[in-house]
Amino acid sequence: MTEIPSLVLERIIRMALEEDLGSGDVTTDSIVSPGVQGTASLVAREQLVLAGLHVFAGVFQTLSGEVRFENHYQDGQVVPAGGRICRVTGPVSVLLKGERTALNFLQRMCGIATTTRTYVEKCRPWKARVVDTRKTAPGLRVLDKYAVRMGGGFNHRLGLSDGILIKDNHIAAAGSVTRAGELAKRGAPHLLKVEVEVEDLEGLREAIEAGAEVVLLDNMSPGEMKKAVEAAGGRVVLEASGGIDLGNIERVAETGVDIISVGALTHSAMASDLSLELQGMP
């Protein structure tokens, strides 16, 4: 499973800490002596799928080389309500300074993973993969997409350079699906597939003829999708997209599409409820 590159992660963590710390923690530094050590437990206050434990840890490690972690769960596992995810030991002042930033990362990532898992569970009887979109929080895409993977989902392209997706506007600009497909294939790097967005069966037919390797069925009803699956006959990968939620995903999955992409995995996931409880202070 693709890891978040460490250099990218470092950069994101530093940006977040600089944002929260500003010119310094005026409360903690006034009250807590730098030398005081403490221990804290990271606790799930509701059931969740864990994602981003190393991001959480990285926040404290960026602040100090003296923080230690003892993990009881790992990314991808389900943590029950009340579950103690890890123990953190180090200077109390560091625990207090990093707490909010570390939790902000983790609550978002667990929220995404937990939401994803719910969608994935619904699709389990069928072959369809649950896939994310580019509808992520700006600057946090690698984290959002990692969380989707931890929830059992898969990733669509990360950005505009690692996948060719011809949408309605591209087709309009080119004049026809055929022409758009031709132009895309002419210059495309040979390790990228060409996906075409269509709205009906006629579009699907044209897309296949134009050499599409993946076809996105945009806002089709389950009934239409079923026909699309039959019409495609396995010649292309079919992705269902648009307006899919927990209420209708099963009906989509049972049409036989290969991929179901859901923007809500990342654009509207609820934060998981987590807390960092300090013990052992003097």
Residue nearer to a copy of itself on the CB measure, 94 or 249:
94
What CA–CA distance (Å, rounded) separates 71 from 181? 49
What Cα–Cα distance (Å) separates residue 175 from each residue in 49, 183, 213, 219? Answer: 46, 11, 20, 22
Cβ contact 130:152 at 8 Å:
yes
Q: Is 66 a catalytic residue?
A: no
Task: Check binding of 248 to a copy of itself (CB under 8 A).
Answer: no
Give the one residue of 49, 53, 57, 180 binding a copy of itself; rule: CB under 8 A: 180
Task: Check binding of 6 to a copy of itself (CB under 8 A).
Answer: yes
Give just the sign of the alpha carbon dihedral 264, 265, 266, 272: positive
Residue nearer to a copy of itself on the CB measure, 17 or 249:
17
Stretch of 71-79, 203-211, 227-235, 264-272 contacting a copy of itself, by CB under 8 A: 264-272
Q: Is 100 a catalytic residue?
A: yes
Residue from 167, 193, 226, 251 carrying the catalytic annotation: 167
Residue from 20, 168, 199, 218 carrying the catalytic annotation: 218
Q: Is 218 a catalytic residue?
A: yes
Residue nearer to a copy of itself on the CB measure, 210 or 220:
210
Task: Check binding of 115 to a copy of itself (CB under 8 A).
Answer: no
Give the one residue of 80, 82, 125, 175 binding a copy of itself; rule: CB under 8 A: 175
Give the one residue of 29, 66, 230, 245 binding a copy of itself; rule: CB under 8 A: 29
Contacts 24+ apart (CB under 8 A), 152-156: 152/76, 152/116, 152/117, 152/120, 153/116, 153/119, 153/120, 153/129, 153/265, 154/129, 154/130, 154/259, 155/2, 155/131, 156/131, 156/132, 156/261
Residues 188-207 that bind a copy of itself (CB under 8 A): 188-193, 195
Amino acid at 154: F
Residues 36-65 that bind a copy of itself (CB under 8 A): 36, 62-64
Residue from 25, 46, 84, 100 carrying the catalytic annotation: 100
Cβ neighbours of residue 134 closer than 8 Å, sequence gap 6 or more: 141, 156, 157, 158, 159
Count the residues of the shown chain that bind a copy of itself, applying the rule CB under 8 A: 105
Give just the sign of the alpha carbon dihedral 158, 132, 123, 115: positive
Task: Check binding of 72 to a copy of itself (CB under 8 A).
Answer: no
Residue from 87, 135, 193, 226 carrying the catalytic annotation: 135
- Beta carbon of residue 134, minimum distance to a copy of itself (angstroms, whole number): 5
Residue nearer to a copy of itself on the CB measure, 189 or 234:
189
110, with CB counted inside 10 A (0-12, 13-18, 19+), is: buried
Q: Which residues are catalytic?
A: 100, 135, 167, 197, 218
